[in-house]
Structure formats: structure tokens, C-alpha cells
Structure 1
Amino acid sequence: MEPRAHHVVIGFFTLAAVAAALLFALWLGKSSGDTEWAWYRVGFDHPVGGLAEGNPVLYSGVNIGTVEDLTLAPENPAHVRALVRVDKSVPIRKNTKAGLVMANITGSMSIQFTGGSPDSPIIPGDRSNPPLIQAQPSTISNLLSNSETLLTKADQLLASANNLLSEDNLDNVAGILENTRIASEALVASRDDLLALMAQFDSAGVRTEEAAIKVSAAADRASAVLDDGVEPVLISLNTAIQTLQPTLDRLNQLSADNGQALDQGLQGIGELGPTLRELRGTLRNLNSFTRKLEQDTFGTLLGEDSIKEYRE
């Protein structure tokens, strides 16, 4: 009787578990059936790897629905259209944004709605004609879409690194390092000469500084001489020029006013030239006659010797 009692107890608990499961399923179905849904299409212009039917739809991280269908856009197969249903009590507004987020570490993706200001109008989600909401590219989707390009560039980088580290280049690098070592040893060997050269440079710098100080002092003295000696002379010259300027202006005015008279006077002076020459000759003859008269008064007056003209 005892084994039969155990079987009865096990059967009873089994029936109770099945009944509880059926009741939970009925409650869940009734709860799901009581929920009113709004339907939308989310458009993606990039690959949606990891997104599948039945994946959750989130609003700011809270589950509000599921992905019901995934299709390619008929006008452009590179674009994807995801049909989603969300709880109608959650307002999907005109400025609400949609995008992909990673659901777990396995790579499964979910659609997430964010944003939506209260003053923006609500978009009604009609099952027969669901409105289209264009998804924003997410960081994860960009990373996934660009992963192939990144891998290609990484492969090119590795190839360039291999070329850089080829045997010829390694030999060249080894030669450069050897030359650097030899140059360093030569510098160490000539350290005393370098120190002496640096001392000479230091001494030359000191002498250059002293010469610069002397030149600066000479320049200061020259500036003082110019300020004390030349500047007063220049001021006096400037004053004299300013004093003579009215006289020069007056002479210019007189020359302009009497230009015609001056021209006529100069012409008259030119015409006096022949008369003056004749007068000079006459004076010479008179001077000769006077000397003869002094030497021989009577003979000269009696006309014994005719008057002769002497010309120099």
C-alpha cells in the first residue's frame, strides 16, 4: 500500500503543477489580450544584424512591446522595415527617436524609443496602416557596419608594419644604431676638446657682451652730442630760413612784377657794349696825346708829329 500512496502523492503534485501552469498561461494570455496595442514601422537604412522577430521594444530602457515582422523596403532592398507593436498607453510622439541597442552579450539587438517632448503631437499607431518612424544610426550599428572597413585598414597597417620590419630595413636600422654608437663614443673621447671649445664660446660671448655695452655707450654719447650740439644749429637754421622766407617771397614777387623791365634793361646793357669799346679806344688815344704833349709841348701843338693811335 505504501508504494501506491507515494505514486498517488506524486501524481497529485504533477496534476497541481500542470494546472498551475495552465492557469498562468491563461492569465498571461488574458493579460496580453486585454492590452491595447499600437503598431508602427521602424525604418533602418543600415544593416540590422542581431534584430529578430520577437525581440523586445524598449522606451528609455523599459519593455513596451515586441518586434512582429522584419522585411526589406520594396523601393530599396538595402533598407529594412521592422513592424513593431507597443503598448498603446505609451505615447509615441512626432519627435520620438528610434534606434538599435544591444540586448545582451550574445549580440541580440532591441529597438529602443527615446525622447518625445510633451508638446509634440502623438502619432497614432494604426494596425492596417502603421506610420513609419525613421531610425537614427546608433554607435553600435555604425561600429558593426564599419567593422569590415576597420579590419581592412588593420590588415593594411599590419602589412605596412611587416614591410617596415623587413630584413633590409632592419639591417639599415642596425647600421644607423651602430653609427650612432660610434658617434657617441667619438664625442665622449673628445669631451675635453668640446669643454675647451665651450669655454672659448663662453669667453667670446662675454667679450661680445662687453663690446655691445661699449657700442651702446658710444651710441648714447653720440645721441647726446647730436641733441646738445646739432639740434640747436638745426633750430637756428630753421629760424633763419623762416626769417629769409618773406624776403625770398618778396624778391620772387618783384621779379615776377618787373620781369619785362629787367629784360629790357639787360637788352640795353648789351647794346652799350660797342659804345664802351669805342670810348675806351678814344681814352687811349687821348692818354697818348697827353703824354706826347708833356714830352714835346710846342712840337705837338705846331703839328710836327701827327697823333698816332696806340692799341694794346
Structure 2
Amino acid sequence: METRANYALIGLFTLAVIASGFLFVFWVSGTGRSTDEKTYKIVFTGSVTGLASGGWVLFNGVRVGEVKSIDLMPNDPSQVYALVNVRSRVPIRVDTKARLESTGLTGVASVALIGGSPSAAPLGKAADGGPGVIYAERSDFQSLLEAARHITAQASDLLDKTNKLLDTNSGAINASVKNLQKFSDALASNSDGIKNFLTAMTEVSKEIGPLSDKLSKLADDTDGVVKAVDPAQVKTIVTNTAQLSTKLNAAADKVDGVLTNLNGFLATGDSKGAFGEIAAAAKSIHTLADHLDTRTKELSVNLNRFATTGLRQYEALAVDGRKTLAEINRAVRSIEDNPQQFLFGKKQQIPEYSSNR
């Protein structure tokens, strides 16, 4: 009897322990979770490969919950939403960000939450009374995969185009290769000529070296000659020449006036030859003035290239020009005072006789 009583007590104790375990599990998975956790809705765009129910939810790298369920958005199949349970004390704000991250090389994905500003408001329930919604950003892994797909597509397209180009221009490519081969053979067969050409070019370069030195010396000598010219003397000669040209033009105008006056005196037929000579003289004076004006412009350019010896020659020319101008002025004044003297010569004085009565 005593042995049977011990087995009964052991069985009752075992049943009590099992019942207590069930109650504890029920409390942990049911009632306790409903009071210590909050549910949020994370919306993803694109693939969520590796994410499954029971996956981790991380907040700044710390595990704070798990994925409850995953499903497609009813109104947009390109989006996926995940319901996650997060501890109530975790500060989920309206500016909290979410993204999908892969754990190691296993391919298992988790939801990473990045905390927002402490001054931001807590994330509450949605307008329809459902869980608060967080729109996830694209993860680095997703961006990497998309970039890899894009690069792969571009590389494949480039290879296709390259193959088409080679197929289309295979004849031209073969011809170019043959031409290169011919050119290479020609160079090989004329190696001696190329060597001689390079040797000749070396000799030419050696000759050009001394020539460049001579040209440099010539440029220095020319610069010295230009610097030796006194700018003040050049300016003086140019001024004197310009004054000479101006005075000659004025003298020519006076000759025109004299010719006009002479035309009144020489209205007869016999005086036409003399008038023609005077007109020719005036025309010559005009031509001389024009030539001097042209020479003046040329001298103003060329004087800068001459040394002091050339300047003295032009000064002598200016002095002679002044003398010539003075002679012309005296001749013009003489004609203005007595034009008949120019035509008929100087009148001889007729001696006067007085009769004695």
C-alpha cells in the first residue's frame, strides 16, 4: 500500500508541473505580449528576399522585437508590408526610418529601425485605427543588387553591339591587319634607309643649332640699333618735315592766286603760252608738295630704323627745303607785285628830256 501511494503522488506532481508550464507559455505568448509590445506596419518597395515571420527587428542594432507576418499590399502588389511587434519602451517616432538588412552571408534578412529625433512626436496608430505605418528605405544591399543588375544588362548590351560590329566589319578589319603587316614588312626591308634618314636628321639638327645662335645675335644687334636712335631727334625731324610740307602747300595756294590775277592781265592771245607755263609751274609745285607729304609719312616710319648718321642727313634735307621754300616765296611775292615784269621783263627807264625854252 505504501508503494502505491508514492507513485500516485509522483504522477500528480508531474501533471502539476506540465500544467504550470503550459500556463507560463500561454502567459508569455499571449497576455504578457499584448501589454508589453506594440505593433507597427513596415511597408517595403520591391523584393524582401530573406525576410520571414519570426525574423528579428533591430533598433539601432539592438534586437527589440520580431516580425509577426508578411503579406502583399492589397492596392499595390509591388509593395510588401510586414507587421512587427516591438517593445513598448522603444522610442518609435514619426521620423523613425526602416530598411531591410541582411545578416552575414546566410541571406537571412531583418528589419532595421533607425531612431528619429528626440523632439519628434511618438508614432501613433493610423487614421483607420490600424498600426502605425513606417515606409522603409531601400537598403544598401538592394541598391547593390539593382546596380549589379543594371551593370550586367549594360555589359550584355555592349557585348552584343561589339559582336555585331565585328561581324559587320570583319572584312575591313582583316584588310587593316593585312595592311599593317605590309607596313611592318616595308619597315623591316627599309631599315637601312630609315637609319640613314635618322642620321641625316641628326646632322641637320646639329647645323640648326649654330644658325639659331646667329639669328639670336642678329636680333640683339637690331635691337641695339633701334635703341641707339634718339627719339627726340626723330620727333624733331618729323616735325620739321611736316612744317615744310605745310608751307609748300600754302605756297601752292598763293601761286593759284597769282595765276588768277595774271589771267586778268593775260587775256590776249599772245599771252596764252606764258599762262600755260605758269600753270605747269603751279602743277609742278602741287606735285612736289604731294610727294613731300608722302615722303613725310614714309620718313616717319623709316626714321625709327636708322642710326644717328641718317638723322643728320634728314636734318640737312630740312634745311635745304627751307631755303628752297624761301626762294619760292620771294618769287611768288615778286610776281604778285609786278606780274608784267614776269612776262615782259624789267622795264627800262626812259630818259626824260627837258626842253629849254
TM-score bucket of the superposed structures, by smaller chain: 0.5 to 0.7
Deviations 1:216-260 (A, max 9, x none): 2112112212221xx32x5324135557889999x8xxx9xxx9x
Question: For the structure 1 residues 246 and 92, does the alpha-carbon distance in structure 2 shift closer, same or farther, using more than 3 Å as the test?
Answer: farther
Is residue 141 of structure 1 aligned with residue 134 of structure 2? Answer: no
Cα contact 1:48–1:141 (8 A) shared by 2: no
Residue identity in the other structure for 2:233: S
Name which of structure 1's ranges 80-89 and 97-106 shifts more when overlaid on structure 2: 97-106
Partners of 2:155 and 2:234 lie apart in 1 by 84
1:29 offset after TM fit, Å?
4.9
**Which residue of 6, 9, 34 maps to 2:32?**
34
After TM superposition, give the deviation of residue 125 of structure 1 in Å. 5.4
Matched residue of 1:239: which SS? helix
Once the two structures are superposed, residues 100-131 of structure 1 have per-residue CA deviations (whole angstroms, 9 ceiling, x without a partner) of 01135443321111242323332235794212
Asked whether the equivalents of residues 97 and 113 of structure 1 are also in contact (C-alpha less than 8 Å), the reply is yes
State the distance in 1 between where 2:203 and 2:173 align: 40
Partner residue in 1 for 2:235? 238
Q: For 1:202-281, what aligned pairs fall within 5 Å after superposition?
A: 202-228=202-228, 231-232=229-230, 235-241=232-238, 268-274=261-267
- Superposition TM-score, scaled by structure 1 size: 0.62
> Which moved further from structure 2: 32-41 or 121-130?
121-130
- Distance in 2, Cα, partners of 1:24 & 1:202: 103
**2:99 alignment partner AA:** G
Residues 132-185 of structure 1: CA distance to partner in whole angstroms, max 9, x if unpaired? Answer: 11111112223445666555445445555666787x95x987876676566545
One-letter amino acid of the structure 1 residue matched with residue 220 of structure 2: D
Q: What is the identity, as a one-letter code, of the residue corresponding to 2:142?
A: S
Q: Does 1:132 align with 2:126?
A: no
TM-score of the pair, normalised by structure 2? 0.55
What root-mean-square deviation, in Å, do the aligned CA atoms of Structure 1 and Structure 2 show?
4.7
**Stretches of structure 2 lacking an aligned partner (at least 5 in a row):** 1-6, 272-339, 349-357
8 Å contact from structure 2 (residues 94, 116) kept in 1: yes
1:56-205 counterparts in 2 under 5 A?
A: 56-103=56-103, 105-124=105-124, 128-145=129-146, 152-153=153-154, 155-156=156-157, 159=160, 169=170, 183-184=183-184, 186-205=186-205
> Following superposition of structure 1 onto structure 2, how do residues 11-50 of structure 1 map, counting pairs within 5 Å?
27=24, 29-32=26-29, 33-35=31-33, 36-50=36-50
Q: How many residues are aligned here? A: 260
Distance in 2, Cα, partners of 1:178 & 1:264: 91
Q: 1:157 to 1:223 in 2, by over 3 A?
A: closer
C-alpha contact 2:44 2:135 (8 A) present in aligned 1: yes
Letter in 1 for 2:265: L
Partner of 1:296: none
Between the aligned residues of both structures, percent identity stands at 25
For residues 161 and 21 of structure 1, what CA distance do their matches in structure 2 show? 73
